Structure 1
Amino acid sequence: MDLSAYFDDSASDTGERNLVFAGLVNRDDAWEKFSVEWSAALAKTPSIGHLKMVEANGLRGQFAGWTRDLRDQKLEDLAEVLDRFRAPWTFDISISRAEYEIHVAPASPRGLSTPYFAITFAAISAVARFLASEGVVTPVRFVFDEQKGVDTNVALFFDYMIENLDSSDRELIKMPIGYGNDMRNLPLQAADMLAWHIRRQREGNEDPTIMRRAQSIRSDTHIEARVPSEMLVRWGAAFSQMLPILQTLKTKGEWQRLQTVVAQAKREGFKPPHGDNAENTLANIREAWDQFRAKTQR
């Protein structure tokens, strides 16, 4: 029984400007059957090539020229497919972009200046911890929607980060994590639908159709998590302690050279010290930066 988790994100522009990562975990054979029926629902007249909820909501892109009634019917058809192939587990993890920009981004190196690294780790660790607690022993393949440059930056330190998880949790994470194009990867379109509806529901949207659909596409076992403010404060404080070093990593060129050094260090067996996630990440940056400076000063 092979398991795969598909995650997509939806970002709010109001209030805390929350970023929501939502995902579905299911057996690969169920995902294959789901994809056949999802593809048929997309092709049903009037057809669309793919689902993006921002396009559906704004009646643009694939939904340009559609009436709201036609749009709603198409979404209902797709939601029914999700309901028929309901994943055993769904997850949503959120982070405040407003707080991240206050506490973390100003002191972050270029590649960690967005919350995607933190929330990707939070999403994977939440799935692994929960499934381990349920006695699941099958490793899970994780697939996220592509974000320009994010996959490389996440990969830079991600395997070091998971060293902090319990061994039972780590064993459920099939490495490396993957990224896909949600215009072609059908399960990612389901994750997009889930993330958008959860985010709108959290914003207090009272549209009964959105509220009902948000509930129907969740699994019976739905896990919610949030990256706490105190963690963001700790990350920001830890990064600030290294500000002189991190400031030199603000340019694209410096960050790319650091990526090269870290990749080489990983191939040579570089491992992080013990400590919490922030300490490990900073230690990795510090050691990689020392190697980078040593090589560039030769």
Structure 2
Amino acid sequence: MDEGGPRSEAERSGARYQPFRAPILPVHDQSRRAFSRSYPVSPRGLGSPHFTCCFSVISGVARYVAETKAKTRIEYIFDEQDGVSSDMPLLFHQMKRNIPRRARNLISGVPAFENDKLLPPLQAADMLAWHLRREHENRASPDDVLPMADVLRNPKGHLESHVDDAHLYKWAEHHEQQEGVQFLKSKGQWQEFRRDLVRFAEAGAIPPKGSRLSHLLFRLRIHFLAALARRSLKKRDRHRS
């Protein structure tokens, strides 16, 4: 065996990252092209591919671990992304209700977003993702591997998830059908909505703060205001016609 070959060079350059190998290494991918075609109808915050990827990783890992009967709670840490770091804490409590209870109970709390320049495990994850992406894009057959990617990958395999185009279109259709979505498209509209959510959460009107009664009263108030808005739009349309 040639100890000076490309393989050993890759091993030497990747050795310092190996202590950060995890028992589970989730690899998530979705089509950016399909995403850009379908998500103009979505609210600005939910129309971000980074937001969708973050939540998909959270859901996928929690569901997988739940199937193994493990009881260790999972702490999620992502690198900082403009907007996502602010939106996730406000929307996460409601969104995770769509995850099955057993998997949901494994999530330790709201995911954290850290500076990857200051957190070596995030640097290792970024390095792994970069090499796996190169390998995926340049692969002509399943047997084609990049030496560095092969060094960094978990020898027990990866947990892979793929969001196909049909799911992206389904999510976009769901977003498009929500009331008031047309008022959440611009950056300014979304920032105002974010400020409102912070204010409502601090007042105990929405989870995770407040009581069930305060949440119910808030939902009834929102439904009432939405009904008034619909009536106003119908009257306006009749006057125009």
Band of TM-score, shorter chain:
0.7 to 0.9
- Alpha-carbon separation, structure 1, partners of 2:100 and 2:46: 24
Q: Tell me the residue number matched to 2:177.
A: 241
Q: 1:163 to 1:99 in 2, by over 3 A?
A: same
SS of 1:100's equivalent?
Answer: helix
What amino acid sits opposite 1:237 in the alignment?
E
Q: Tell me the residue number matched to 1:103.
A: 38
Q: 1:176 to 1:78 in 2, by over 3 A?
A: farther
Q: Tell me the residue number matched to 1:232.
A: 168
Aligned match of 2:86 in 152, 157, 172? Answer: 152
- Alpha-carbon separation, structure 2, partners of 1:191 and 1:184: 13
Shift of 1:76: 4.3
Q: 1:79 to 1:163 in 2, by over 3 A?
A: same
RMSD, aligned CA:
3.1
What amino acid sits opposite 1:101 in the alignment?
S
Following superposition of structure 1 onto structure 2, how do residues 246-285 of structure 1 map, counting pairs within 5 Å? 246-267=181-202, 268-270=204-206
What amino acid sits opposite 1:236 in the alignment?
A
* Contact 1:239–1:246 under 8 Å retained in 2: yes
- Structure 1 or 2: larger strand share? 1
TM-score after normalising by structure 2: 0.74
Shift of 1:240: 2.3
Following superposition of structure 1 onto structure 2, how do residues 59-208 of structure 1 map, counting pairs within 5 Å? 76-83=11-18, 86-104=21-39, 106-205=40-139
* Contact 1:119–1:227 under 8 Å retained in 2: no
SS of 1:88's equivalent?
Answer: coil
Q: 1:269 to 1:135 in 2, by over 3 A?
A: farther
What amino acid sits opposite 2:52 in the alignment?
A
Q: Tell me the residue number matched to 2:3.
A: none
- Alpha-carbon separation, structure 2, partners of 1:183 and 1:190: 11
Shift of 1:218: 1.6
Moved more, 213-222 or 186-195: 213-222
* Contact 2:117–2:123 under 8 Å retained in 1: yes
SS of 1:112's equivalent?
Answer: coil
Question: How many percent identity over aligned positions?
Answer: 34
Shift of 1:193: 1.0
- Deviation string, structure 1 residues 44-93 (Cα, Å, up to 9, x no partner): xxxxxxxxxxxxxxxxxxxxxxxxxxxx95x6444213335532221101
- Runs of 5+ in structure 1 lacking a partner? 1-71, 273-283
- Runs of 5+ in structure 2 lacking a partner? 1-7, 209-218, 230-241
Shift of 1:210: 6.4
- Alpha-carbon separation, structure 2, partners of 1:102 and 1:209: 31
- Alpha-carbon separation, structure 2, partners of 1:248 and 1:146: 26
Shift of 1:228: 2.2
